[in-house]
Amino acid sequence: MSTLLEVKELVVRYGGIEAVKGINLHIHQGELVTLIGANGAGKTSTLNALAGLLKPASGEIRFEGELLNSSPIHQLIQRGLALVPEGRGVFPRLTVEENLAMGAYTRKDKPGMRADLNQVFESFPRLQERRQQKAGTLSGGEQQMLAIGRALMGRPKLLLLDEPSMGLAPLMVQTIFSVIQRVAKEGMTVFLVEQNARLALQSAQRAYVMEGGMIRFNASANECLSDPRVRLAYLGEDS
């Protein structure tokens, strides 16, 4: 298995506050890796640094072996990263179809785009039903589907998902997670940042547990699920 993304000693600062204090992680080709942790643990900061929305204070980010540090975000997208931002971030006044077209903004191959559009509609029949509807009128879950579909339209090599379960009803969370699992099964490499630790661990192959800006724990998802510390702190169970 080749390493797609490698992060070394990544530090992210907001002014004097260190949100991410030198973490290491790596993602192999085709893996579904999750980063779990409580509010304020530094998960989103980590992800935003990977996606180029934040400039890391120090450390290395390598994508396919190449150093990415502080490349502007539009270049990262062209290299094959796709971010589904926290809170979905669909374009509310554009239609579903226009939203999906924006996802392929950096691409030039029209036939490929049409094929991918059909692929997305196949994966999310709900979006096809509502292709002419304004994205702002979709339900939260549908918007999340749209955000994921839109990211896939860029044909990324690595899909970065920020809290896809946020603000969704439990039933919809299940649906979204099955979608994520399916996307991963089809060969997409996924890095999933999530607060809903149980679901994230059930879907992922490997997990990083983040606490206070550091990675506390790093193991296969199954090991995490049975680890007493994780069970106590994130799954709300006594072992």
Partner 1 sequence: MNKRIYIGLLCLTVVIALPFGTDAFLGRSWVRLLDFALLYTMLALGLNIVVGYAGLLDLGYVAFYAVGAYLYAMLASPHIGMHWPLWALLPMGALLAASFGAVLGAPTLGLRGDYLAIVTMGFGEIIRIFLRNLNITNGPAGIDLIDPIQIGNFSFGSSHSLLGWDLPSIYNYYFLFIVLTAFIVLVSYRLSDSRIGRAWAAIREDEIAAKSMGLNTRYLKLMAFAMGAAFGGISGVLFAGFQGFISPESFTMGESVMILCMVVLGGMGHLSGVIMGAILLAILPEAFRPLSQFQQITFGHVWLDPANLRMLMFALALIVVMILRPEGLWPSPVRRRELHQNDAMPASVQKEGP
String of DSSP letters for 160-193: EEE-TTTT--HHHHHHHHHHHHHHHHTT-EEEEE
**Count of residues that interact with partner 1, criterion CB under 8 A:** 39
Nearest distance from residue 129's CB to partner 1, in Å? 13
Q: Which is nearer to partner 1, 43 or 206 (CB)?
A: 43
How many C-alpha atoms does 112 have within 13 Å on its Cβ side?
A: 11
Going by C-beta distance under 8 Å and a sequence separation of 6 or more, which residues neighbour residue 44?
A: 86, 162, 163, 193
Expressed in angstroms, the distance from the first to the final Cα of the chain is 34
* Piece of the chain touching partner 1 by CB under 8 A; list 7-15, 71-79, 192-200, 229-237: 71-79
List the x/- string, 25-64, binding to partner 1 by CB under 8 A: --------------------------x-x-----------
Contact letters for partner 1, residues 140-159 (x by CB under 8 A) = xxx----x--xx--x-----
Q: Rule CB under 8 A: choose which of 90, 117, 120, 145 binds partner 1.
A: 90
Binding mask 169-198 toward partner 1 (x if CB under 8 A, else -) reads x-xx--------------------------
**Cα dihedral 69, 72, 77, 83 sign:** positive
Q: Which is nearer to partner 1, 53 or 235 (CB)?
A: 53
Select from 19, 36, 82, 193 the one that contacts partner 1 (CB under 8 A). Answer: 82
Q: Is 166 in the site for partner 1 (CB under 8 A)?
A: no
CB of 41 to partner 1, least distance (A): 21
Instruction: Considering only residues 113 through 132, tell me which ones interact with partner 1, judged by CB under 8 A.
Output: none
> Which residue, chain included where needed, has tokens 């502080």?
70
By the rule CB under 8 A, 168 interacts with partner 1: yes
On the 0-12 / 13-18 / 19+ scale of CB atoms within 10 A, 95 is: middle
How far apart (Å, rounded) are the C-alpha atoms in residues 73 and 50? 9
Written as six digits, the tokens of 223 are 């090991």
Residue type, 51: A
What counts of helices (H) and strands (E) characterise the chain?
10, 10
Residues that bind partner 1 (CB under 8 A): 51, 53, 72-74, 76-78, 82-85, 89-94, 98, 101-103, 105-106, 134, 136-137, 139-142, 147, 150-151, 154, 168-169, 171-172
